[in-house]
Amino acid sequence: MERATVLGFLLLLGARGGSGQAALKPPQDSLREELLLSPLPSGDLAATFQFRTRWDSELQREGVSHYRLFPKALGQLISKYSVRELHLSLTQGFWRTWTWGQPHLQAPAGAELWVWFQDSVTDVDKSWKELSNMLSGIFCASLNFIDSTNTVIPTASFKPVGLANVTDHHLLRYAVLPREVVCTENLTPWKKLLPCSSKAGLAVLLKAERLFHSSYHSQAVHIRPICRDVSCLSISWELRQTLTVVFDTFSSGQGKKDWSLFKMFSRTLTEACPLASESKIYVDISSKDQGNKLLEVTPAPLSVHEAVVLGDRRTYAVYDLLSPALFNTSRSLNVQLKWKRPQDSADLSTPVLHAQRYVSGYGLQTGEISTLIYNTHPHRAFPVILLETVPWYLRLYIHTLTIITKGKENKPSYIHYQPAQDRRQPHLLEMLIQLPANSATKITIQFERALLKWTEYTPDPNHGFYVSPSVLSVLVPSIIAAKAVAVEESPLFTSLFPSSDGSSYFVRLYTEPLLVNLPTPDFSMPYNVICLTCTVVAVCYGSFYNLLTRTFHVEEPSRGGLAKKLANIIRKIRGVPPL
């Protein structure tokens, strides 16, 4: 017994010594880059870039000073503000789910930032404010406008997508700036965070003049902790930088539906990023009819990958930039897609879930926000969590909330409503609504428009005020069940959200932002208004003062003094009667 403990102790020492040597080695990090080209049912093409840096280090615990692939700016941010998860997206345009199909990762128009903090943070609001200001500097976006009037604390919608053992929702903050525009100024710092920057690998295709000439441009940064290995004893940090762009047949394609890398990006690929462990291009060549292919891809792909993505079985042509066989025939790779036959109705698939939102009503006093959610699944019903953030100056009346499905009232099983406080906090409405199969649900709520102080209007007040898009978080039941595959082996676009089983997939949809007009005072009138109102008050005050302090007493007519005598003499000379 004693010998066993001594032996165990010695072994432990030995192991300690070994790990002590291992601690001197810098933590491992790896980069995978990927481009997914998916032709959309409407003839447009969506290109999704993903750059995933994985860093086997526990940032908070070990004092890290050596950064290799993981950008230092973000690493320092995570350790300084004790961030658990960070998701920032800058988007221009709107993903049209009805015509383009379900998105892999949608982002709302404008800037969106949501952050989970570690439970060690004591003052979350202060950390949130400082963090948004730092990110504003890093990404050259006006994220410093994020304050308490547009930040909310969702209770059910934004669950952590990475590892999490604490889910106290008071550690979560969510803000959207729908008015924010995205431009080259935001793309440049985003590209700088990539290990190869825009000099090698897939990032050479990211040319601003082509990327912003599109219907939809969304760039995002996602940081989350993940399990280092299957046993999940230690964590690694994962940074995903995604960029989704949709090229329009008419503006980018000049009316022709054939696409190529050169046509889209005005560049071709010559090499993979030397720092990447994996660099691949996936082209979606799925077609419903296996014999009659829809799309022809040149050069011929070296391999084909099949997977169940978003509940659908899809086939991808794979180009591995790291394989030497790819650049055998030519020095540069220009993937070309040609349509072999026009699309027919069998190829077009309706998305299982899509939503739209609009404002109705007339005049500047009241209005109504209506959200329509469509469930086109033929026989499965599923619940959806709807999050609405409405600014305080549109006063919502929760007693006017009605949810109607198929002509009958549909009561939500969970409602969380936090009313707004003037100039401090927006409205927050979260509901869990059950959507029956093959139905359209209409959610309406009435509001009243407030008159603001003249300094609270933007310089262009008649443009209107933006209402952030509402968020739908859903576990959509898949039509085809997916097999569980290890994250490291599967393509990046299949491992965006953790899935517990293959029977459903997670989708986060955003609706359109709304533009609402408010009544405005006349901005040229401050001095006039102050004068006129004070005059009315003074009229009252003066009248009452006069009334209350005036006393009446009888006055004897005065005999007159010297001046009167003089005046009478002059009057006699003139021949006028005396005073």
Q: Which is nearer to another protein, 486 or 540 (CB)?
A: 540
Measured from the CB of residue 540, what is the shortest distance to another protein in angstroms? 4
Which candidate, 193, 3, 104, 72, places its Cα nearest to that of 508? 104
Contact assessment for residue 41 and residue 83, using Cβ atoms and an 8 Å cutoff? no
Measured from the CB of residue 453, what is the shortest distance to another protein in angstroms? 6
Measured from the CB of residue 117, what is the shortest distance to another protein in angstroms? 24
Q: Tokens 């950008």 — which residue?
A: 71
SS3 assignment for 557-576 = CCCCCHHHHHHHHHHHHHCC
**CA gap 537, 327 in Å, rounded:** 86
Measured from the CB of residue 517, what is the shortest distance to another protein in angstroms? 9
Q: Which is nearer to another protein, 477 or 521 (CB)?
A: 521
Can you tell me whether residue 33 is helix, strand or coil? strand
- Strands 29-39 and 276-284, by their bridges, are parallel
Q: Which is nearer to another protein, 81 or 392 (CB)?
A: 392
Can you tell me whether residue 306 is helix, strand or coil? strand
Q: Which is nearer to another protein, 230 or 552 (CB)?
A: 552
Measured from the CB of residue 85, what is the shortest distance to another protein in angstroms? 28
Measured from the CB of residue 458, what is the shortest distance to another protein in angstroms? 16
Which candidate, 320, 258, 318, 333, places its Cα nearest to that of 285? 318
Measured from the CB of residue 414, what is the shortest distance to another protein in angstroms? 11
Q: Tokens 């690929």 — which residue?
A: 269
Q: Which is nearer to another protein, 358 or 541 (CB)?
A: 541
> Does residue 436 have a cis bond before it (omega within 30 degrees)?
no
**CA gap 426, 148 in Å, rounded:** 8
Measured from the CB of residue 358, what is the shortest distance to another protein in angstroms? 20
Q: Which is nearer to another protein, 138 or 420 (CB)?
A: 420
Question: Any idea what DSSP says for residue 325?
Answer: T
H-helix or E-strand containing 495? none
Measured from the CB of residue 172, what is the shortest distance to another protein in angstroms? 20
**CA gap 94, 110 in Å, rounded:** 10
Measured from the CB of residue 531, what is the shortest distance to another protein in angstroms? 10
Structure tokens at 534: 């004070």
Which candidate, 324, 277, 286, places its Cα nearest to that of 305? 286
| Residues contributing to the site for another protein (CB under 8 A) | 362-366, 392, 395, 397-399, 415, 417-423, 427, 450-455, 519-522, 525-526, 529-530, 532-533, 536-537, 539-541, 543-544, 547-548
Strand ranges (E), 423-561 = 427-435, 439-449, 465-467, 471-477, 504-510, 514-516
Measured from the CB of residue 380, what is the shortest distance to another protein in angstroms? 30
Q: Which is nearer to another protein, 75 or 412 (CB)?
A: 412
Q: Which is nearer to another protein, 9 or 417 (CB)?
A: 417
Query: For residue 442, which phi and psi values (nearest 5 degrees)?
Result: -115, 125
Q: Which is nearer to another protein, 10 or 539 (CB)?
A: 539
Q: Which is nearer to another protein, 94 or 454 (CB)?
A: 454
Q: Which is nearer to another protein, 332 or 400 (CB)?
A: 400
**Amino acid code (one letter) for 170:** H
> Helix-strand-coil percent breakdown of the chain, rounded to 5?
20, 35, 45
Residue 442 CB neighbours (<10 A): 13
Measured from the CB of residue 363, what is the shortest distance to another protein in angstroms? 4
H-helix or E-strand containing 85? strand 83-92
Residue 100 CB neighbours (<10 A): 19
Q: Which is nearer to another protein, 172 or 452 (CB)?
A: 452
Angle CA 17–19–23, to nearest 5: 115
Q: Which is nearer to another protein, 24 or 540 (CB)?
A: 540
Measured from the CB of residue 377, what is the shortest distance to another protein in angstroms? 31
**CA gap 95, 110 in Å, rounded:** 13
**CA gap 182, 90 in Å, rounded:** 6
Q: How would DSSP label each residue in 115-148?
A: EEEPTT-S-HHHHHHHHHHHHHHHHTS-GGG-ST
Q: Which is nearer to another protein, 537 or 576 (CB)?
A: 537
Q: Which is nearer to another protein, 398 or 570 (CB)?
A: 398
**CA gap 91, 245 in Å, rounded:** 10
Residue 280: C-alpha distances to residues 90, 146, 272, 333, 473 (Å): 25, 37, 9, 12, 30
Can you tell me whether residue 290 is helix, strand or coil? coil
Measured from the CB of residue 367, what is the shortest distance to another protein in angstroms? 12
Measured from the CB of residue 470, what is the shortest distance to another protein in angstroms? 19
